[in-house]
Amino acid sequence: LMITRGALRNDIDPKYDIPVVLRVSGGNSVLNEDLSNEGITVSIRDALRLNVSAVALSIYVGSPHEHQTLVNLSGLISEAQEYGIPVLAVTAVGKELEKRDAKYLSLSCRIAAELGVQIVKTYYCEDFQKVVESCPVPLVIAGGPKMKSELDVLDIAYNAIASGAKGVDMGRNIWQSRWPVPMISAIRSIVHEKASAQKAAEIFNELKEKKA
C-alpha cells in the first residue's frame, strides 16, 4: 500500500497490519502546469512514528526541476539509511505522457538506482525488458491513467511481470473498477502465482459473478 501521511493517519485503521510505503514528496497540485516542482514534505522521524516499511519520492528527469528532485532523492536516501528504511523512487512524468518510452524510463530508473534507492516504480512501455535490464534494483509498474477495461489492465500486468518487473503498484485501475476486490485477486495471481493473463481474467470473472 502506497499512501500519504494524512490518509494513513485518518483513513487506515491501525489494527490492519499492512506493509505501507509512505509518499514523502509533494508541494504541487494538478492545477499547476509544472508538476515537477516538488519538495520533501514528511520527515524521516515521522515516517518512523508511522512504522512504515519504506518511503517514496518522485523524480522528474528531464523536467525544469530535475536537479531539485534528484537532490531531494539523494538527501532522503542518506537520511533513510540511518534508520534502515528502504527508499522507492517514482519516475514521474507529470503531464508529459509521451515520455513513457523505454529510452526515457531506462535513463530515469538507472539514475534512481545509481543514487542508491532500493526499488523503482515506473511505467510499463514497449521494450520494457530494456528498462528492466538497465536498472540493477527491482522495478514495479504504475497503473497510469484509467484503462478501457479490466482485461487491458491484466494484460499490462502480465506483460510487465513476464518482462522482469517484480510487482505492480496500481491505483485507479483497481479502486475505480466496479469490482476492485476481484481485480486485486486477479492481479495478485499474476504477480505471486505466475498466472497468465487469461487465467487472471478467469479469476476476475469468477469472482465478479459471485459479487453480482
Q: Which of 121, 148, 166, 208 is catalytic?
A: 121
* 166 vs 117: CA distance, rounded Å: 15
Smallest CA-to-CA distance from 69 within 106, 28, 128 is with 28
**According to the 3-state scheme, what is the secondary structure of the chain?**
CEECHHHHHHHCCCCCCCCCEEECEECCCCCCCCCCCCEECCCHHHHHHCCCCEEEEEECCCCCCHHHHHHHHHHHHHHHHHHCCCEEEEECCCCCHHHCCHHHHHHHHHHHHHHCCCEEEECCCCCHHHHHHHCCCCEEEECCCCCCCHHHHHHHHHHHHHCCCCEEECCHHHHCCCCHHHHHHHHHHHHHHCCCHHHHHHHHHHHHHHHC
Q: Which three cell numbers stand for residue 25?
A: 514528496
Judge whether 121 counts as a catalytic residue: yes
Q: What is the set of active-site residues?
A: 121
